[in-house]
Amino acid sequence: TIRSRILGCGSYLPSNVVTNEELSRRVDTTDEWIVARTGIRQRHIAAEGETTSDLAYNAAIRAMEHAGVVAADIDMIIVATATPDNTFPATATKVQHRLGVVGFAFDVQAVCSGFVYALTTADMYIRNGQAKTVLVIGAETFSRILDWEDRTTCVLFGDGAGAVVVQACEGTGTIADQGILASRLHSDGSKYELLYVDGGPSSTQTVGHLQMEGREVFRHAVTNLASVIREVLDDTGISEEQIDWLVPHQANQRILDGTARKFGISPERVVVTVDRHANTSAASIPLALSEAVHDGRIKRGDIVVLEAMGGGFTWGASLVRW
């Protein structure tokens, strides 16, 4: 059996940090409100002129170093983003050019679930023999699509990028194998109006701003995440007690707590970055994964569950033996 193994990971955050205190000088909010409702204390915001492809490129370089691969080893690049540099071409092709990769590159659009969608796509190309070594990147500049006068949304998001290098390897077809053991994806377009951007090339010819019914999104997130995690556990026969690490999309501390509680996963087994990064959409999982791998928490052989839910709605999970 061909398996997709994650060889290495890396991440990149813009240097500019904006605290809750700073936001409270722009909109009618407080550090106490933001921390109590979301767990967020600060976020990184891209500098003027710094684009999604810049963040993606820097994360990719670090992931390649960690994986011990060079540009010539990579045959495919997927960038998960809802905030591309341009309407077209795909941000992935810009990253491809800067890295000097030969092969093919494209973007995946599933908002906050983008990284899980992209990783699952990479796994399918690898297992079908279409690609051997794939760079999967989640990169976003949500600061560019926020209404900075809307306190109900602008406090929740940040900019950043994370990347992994995924490579084909020979497996036994059992859950003892290293690599991606199961993935499940879902979407439901009927929930459009709960979370969307009110602009776009074909509708308004503007970039638009993020619009969200926070309370409704929250309610659906906890339910959908629990059911998709259950699916990847059932697919593999792995039990919740065997999960070493939960690496969730980082939207809100209360969603993370609710999900972990449902599966009896203790809080120290949940990788949390939302306090420092806020919600970086498709970038949040590879940012969190990189942190926990590089600080030695996640070790080879560990069972890691990645999960996300976002606009669309879209949601998904991957179960990986690190």
> Distance between CA 117 and CA 202 in Å, rounded?
24
Catalytic, 9? Answer no
Among the residue ranges 64-72, 77-85, 150-158, 163-171, the one whose residues contact ligand ACO (CB under 6 A): 150-158
Q: Looking at beta carbons only, is 8 or 316 nearer to ligand ACO?
A: 316
In angstroms, give the least distance from the CB of 246 to ligand ACO: 15
> Distance between CA 167 and CA 147 in Å, rounded?
40
Q: Looking at beta carbons only, is 89 or 214 nearer to ligand ACO?
A: 214
Q: Does 38 bind ligand ACO (CB under 6 A)?
A: yes
> Distance between CA 275 and CA 254 in Å, rounded?
12
> Distance between CA 191 and CA 15 in Å, rounded?
35
Q: How many of the other CB atoms lie within 10 Å of CB of 83?
A: 23
3-state SS record for 219-287:
HHHHHHHHHHHHHHHHHHCCCHHHCCEEEECCCCHHHHHHHHHHCCCCHHHECCCHHHHCECHHHHHHH
Of 151-170, binders to ligand ACO (CB under 6 A) are 151-152, 155
Catalytic, 277? Answer no
* Annotated catalytic residue within 20, 58, 224, 279: 279
Q: Does 145 bind ligand ACO (CB under 6 A)?
A: no
**Crossing angle for the helix pair 284-294 and 114-127, nearest 10 degrees?**
80
The secondary element (H helix, E strand) that includes residue 142 is: none
> Distance between CA 135 and CA 144 in Å, rounded?
25
In angstroms, give the least distance from the CB of 317 to ligand ACO: 13
Which single residue brings its beta carbon nearest to ligand ACO?
214
Among the residue ranges 4-12, 177-185, 249-257, 261-269, the one whose residues contact ligand ACO (CB under 6 A): 249-257
* Annotated catalytic residue within 154, 249, 252, 277: 249
Tokens of 321: 């033996």
Q: Does 251 bind ligand ACO (CB under 6 A)?
A: yes
Report the sign of the C-alpha dihedral through residues 195, 197, 201, 205, in that order: positive
Contact yes or no for 206/199 (Cβ under 8 A)? yes
* Annotated catalytic residue within 66, 112, 154, 252: 112
**Candidate list 2, 16, 31, 33; residue touching ligand ACO; CB under 6 A:** 33
Q: Does 41 bind ligand ACO (CB under 6 A)?
A: no
Catalytic, 220? Answer no
Number of residues binding to ligand ACO, judged by CB under 6 A: 22
Q: Where are the beta strands (DSSP E) in the chain?
A: 2-12, 17-19, 42-44, 76-80, 104-108, 133-141, 159-170, 179-187, 195-197, 210-212, 245-248, 303-310, 314-321
Of 66-125, binders to ligand ACO (CB under 6 A) are 112
Site string for ligand ACO, 277-296 (x = CB under 6 A): --x-----------------
Among the residue ranges 30-38, 175-183, 197-205, 226-234, the one whose residues contact ligand ACO (CB under 6 A): 30-38
**What are the catalytic residues?**
112, 249, 279
- Which residues contact ligand ACO (rule: CB under 6 A)? 29, 33-34, 37-38, 112, 151-152, 155, 195, 212, 214-215, 217-218, 221, 249, 251-252, 279, 309-310
